[in-house]
């Protein structure tokens, strides 16, 4: 009979899986086994550390619900979500960033120039820009789907028990014949990721805060183009260099410009802005 | 402000944790980030694969209960539990193996020579041996804590709703003044690990079976010595080369000898065995 030891076990585990040779499943599985077995050997992991890791995952599972995915949060604070976004950004296209937990796929359609902020408190901003392909050709009829927190850092969906409408501060816009989108809204504020669970314990153990830099969420799509999921941040705001989920890229930080430039833009707006944010989205071809 | 990309993000995540320099926590965290970020980059992980892994962990959490720890099972079938056992085996001591999910820490104390099998079906075996230190000096008063499946591969604790006593087929023995333990019991049969959950899905996706080679479980301890958790297997039985949790080591496989040798051993036994199994446990000093 065979014998296995700490150096031969990795190969034995790989061979126990009868995966299709050369398949993606095999590559993913073998790579994971190589890395995690190497880690275990390099660290000389003790039984206490091993069960500590497994119990941490168990606790993540226990706090998770269909509305709260603690494993995504764990991936976020360890930079995996950001890394996957970076790896999957196409050359020339707008960089991707976190989807986050609050996306709704059936937000209301809005006319260009509409006001998402309505009578909410906070600085009112005009957000505008173009959707283009990677050769800067405007894309008319592109879809700009946006959602955001309010000026206290809260998403209306988190405040439904206080009478808020979960579709507030959301809108789906269609670019005009010049590929432009424009609307007004309130400037969002920073907020914390949930830190009352195992991921919060990990952050505290590492003396880390749970704050995200303020941002607007976007999914932008157009026929024949690869959709992007990203976030837009604001120059000179807090946590740009210390975002808890590593969502900030320099290319995603917009300037906040004075309102006096608004007239020159010639937009018909439902509300009068206090400031202006311009951000262009660039989509790469599909496939 | 800083910018991070797929190559600098790993360092950024490490720096976000303000861990004590040179601490074990820092080493464990940095090592894990290095390996898993490298894995993500090497594989060019897609969003679909990333969320697939996170949803798999979510599913493991949802099926877990205080009685079922799907993350330990996952660790088992991927060879991590065995690897940690191997790493933590002391030179000269009996090799460690899986604790498994069915240990109870208050099993009944038994006199040497007792019969754990009672009127159960199956081949009755004498199990005996010595507990020694690594210089082969016998350890009188050592504790041999054992538990096992029956001759159909079931643990009585799994059959409580059918009237079985969860303490059946368990016993805690104390070695005599020659460091010996001896008792009779039924020879256990192979069984499957639970495969009705996410880990079962993984096994099926990899065309793997869920069978464990038949075994007896042991925790052996003595004052001043490092306790060992291990399993004893039987020569020429099924799955020795294909145990689903990689628990088998050649040094843990015992010969099954004929019953005619029993009289020469001179033990006083409560039941008459059909066969004999001899296994010596070797403990290393603590610390």
Distance from CA of B64 to the nearest CA of A (A): 7
Q: Which DSSP letter does residue A109 get?
A: B
Low-confidence ranges of chain B (pLDDT < 50): none
Cβ proximity of B83 and A6 under 8 Å = yes
Q: What is the pLDDT of residue A161?
A: 87
Q: Which DSSP letter does residue A19 get?
A: P
Number of Cβ atoms within 10 Å of the Cβ of A267: 16
Task: Tell me the DSSP string of B176-194.
Answer: -TTSEEEEEEEPP--EEPP
Q: What is the pLDDT of residue B67?
A: 81
Using a CB–CB cutoff of 8 Å, tell me whether B267 touches chain A.
no
How far is A233 from A251, CA to CA, in rounded Å? 9
How far is A150 from A217, CA to CA, in rounded Å? 12
A111-139: average pLDDT: 96
- B-chain residues within 8 Å CB-CB of A33? 78-79
Cβ proximity of B162 and B198 under 8 Å = no
Question: pLDDT tier at A278 (50, 70, 90 boundaries)?
Answer: very high
Do residue B79 and residue A242 have CB atoms under 8 angstroms apart?
no
How far is A235 from A216, CA to CA, in rounded Å? 13
Residue to substitute from B26, B42, B61, interface A, most A β-carbons within 10 A: B61
Do residue A54 and residue B75 have CB atoms under 8 angstroms apart?
yes
Has residue A231 got a pLDDT over 90?
yes
Percent of chain A, pLDDT > 90?
A: 92
Mean pLDDT of chain A: 96
Q: Give the ipTM of the model, two decimals please.
A: 0.93
Do residue B6 and residue A86 have CB atoms under 8 angstroms apart?
yes
- What letters, b where the CB count within 10 A reaches 16 and e where it falls short, cover A5-42? ebeebbebbbebbebeeeeeebebbbbbbbbbbebbbe
Closest in A6, A27, A250 to B86, CB measured: A6
Q: Name the one residue in this structure whose structure tokens are 């798999």.
A: B56
Q: Which residue in B has a C-alpha nearest to residue A45's C-alpha? A: B84
Using a CB–CB cutoff of 8 Å, tell me whether A5 touches chain B.
yes
Residue B38 exposed, middle or buried by CB count within 10 Å (0-12, 13-18, 19+) = middle
Q: Which residue in A has a C-alpha nearest to residue B36's C-alpha? A: A35
End-to-end CA distance of chain B: 49
CB within 8 Å of chain A, chain B residues 199-218: 205-208
* CA distance readout (Å), A241 to A87, A232, A236, B158: 20, 14, 10, 54
How far is A28 from A32, CA to CA, in rounded Å? 6
SS3 A239: coil
Closest in B39, B75, B242 to A35, CB measured: B39
Q: What is the pLDDT of residue A31?
A: 98
How far is A50 from B78, CA to CA, in rounded Å? 13
CB within 8 Å of chain A, chain B residues 82-121: 82-84, 86-88
How far is B117 from A89, CA to CA, in rounded Å? 64
* CA distance readout (Å), A129 to A142, A214, A273, A285, B84: 12, 19, 15, 20, 55
How far is B18 from A207, CA to CA, in rounded Å? 5
Closest in B43, B58, B75 to A69, CB measured: B58
Q: Which residue in B has a C-alpha nearest to residue A63's C-alpha? A: B61
Sketch out chain A's domains with CATH numbers: 1-45 (no CATH), 80-283 (2.60.130.10)
Task: Tell me the DSSP string of B243-277.
Answer: -TT----GGGEEPEEEGGGHHHHT---SS--SEEE
Closest C-alpha among B277, B252, B94, B97 to residue B182 = B277
- A-chain residues within 8 Å CB-CB of B250? 1-3
Q: What is the pLDDT of residue A228?
A: 96
Has residue A83 got a pLDDT over 90?
yes
Percent of chain A, pLDDT > 70?
A: 100
Cβ proximity of B27 and B35 under 8 Å = no
Has residue A67 got a pLDDT over 90?
no
How far is A217 from A230, CA to CA, in rounded Å? 6
Do residue B81 and residue A50 have CB atoms under 8 angstroms apart?
yes
Distance from CA of A118 to the nearest CA of B (A): 33
Q: Which residue in A has a C-alpha nearest to residue B53's C-alpha? A: A71
A141-148: average pLDDT: 98
Contacts 24+ apart (CB under 8 A), B91-95: B91/B134, B91/B284, B92/B134, B92/B282, B92/B284, B93/B134, B93/B226, B93/B228, B93/B282, B93/B283, B93/B284, B94/B220, B94/B228, B94/B230, B94/B251, B94/B252, B94/B280, B94/B281, B94/B282, B94/B283, B95/B230, B95/B249, B95/B251, B95/B252
List, in sequence order, every beta strand (DSSP E) within A195-252.
211-212, 216-221, 228-234
Furthest C-alpha separation in chain A: 83
Handedness of CA A131, A137, A138, A143 (dihedral sign): negative
Do residue A79 and residue B35 have CB atoms under 8 angstroms apart?
no
Using a CB–CB cutoff of 8 Å, tell me whether A28 touches chain B.
yes
How far is B199 from B69, CA to CA, in rounded Å? 11
Using a CB–CB cutoff of 8 Å, tell me whether A57 touches chain B.
yes
Number of Cβ atoms within 10 Å of the Cβ of B142: 25
How far is B198 from B60, CA to CA, in rounded Å? 6
- Antiparallel, parallel or unpaired: β A180-186 and A191-192: unpaired
């Amino acid at each position: 009979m065979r014998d296995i030891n700490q150096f031969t076990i990795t190969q034995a585990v790989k061979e126990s899986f009868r995966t299709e040779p050369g398949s993606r499943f095999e590559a993913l599985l073998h790579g994971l086994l190589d890395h995690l077995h190497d880690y275990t050997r390099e660290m000389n992991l003790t039984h206490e550390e091993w069960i500590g890791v497994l119990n941490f995952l168990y606790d993540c599972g226990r706090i998770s619900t269909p509305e709260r995915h603690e494993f995504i949060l764990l991936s976020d604070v360890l930079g995996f979500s950001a890394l996957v976004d970076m790896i999957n950004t196409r050359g020339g296209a707008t960089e991707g960033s976190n989807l986050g937990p609050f996306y709704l796929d059936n937000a209301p359609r809005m006319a260009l120039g509409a006001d998402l902020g309505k009578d909410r408190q906070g600085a009112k901003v005009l957000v505008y820009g173009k959707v283009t392909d990677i050769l800067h050709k405007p894309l008319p009829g592109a879809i700009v789907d946006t959602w955001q927190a309010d000026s206290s850092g809260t998403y209306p969906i988190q405040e439904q028990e206080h009478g808020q409408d979960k579709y507030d501060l959301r809108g789906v816009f269609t670019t005009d014949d010049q590929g432009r989108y424009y609307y007004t809204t309130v400037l969002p504020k920073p907020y914390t990721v949930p830190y009352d669970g195992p991921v919060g314990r990990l952050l505290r153990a590492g003396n880390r805060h749970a704050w995200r830099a303020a941002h607007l969420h976007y999914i932008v799509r157009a026929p024949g183009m690869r959709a992007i999921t990203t976030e837009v941040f604001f120059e000179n705001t807090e946590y740009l260099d210390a975002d808890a989920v590593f969502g900030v890229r320099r290319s995603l930080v917009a300037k906040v410009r004075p309102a006096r430039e608004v007239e020159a833009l010639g937009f018909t707006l439902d509300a009068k802005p206090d400031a202006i944010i311009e951000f262009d989205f660039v989509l790469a071809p599909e496939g």
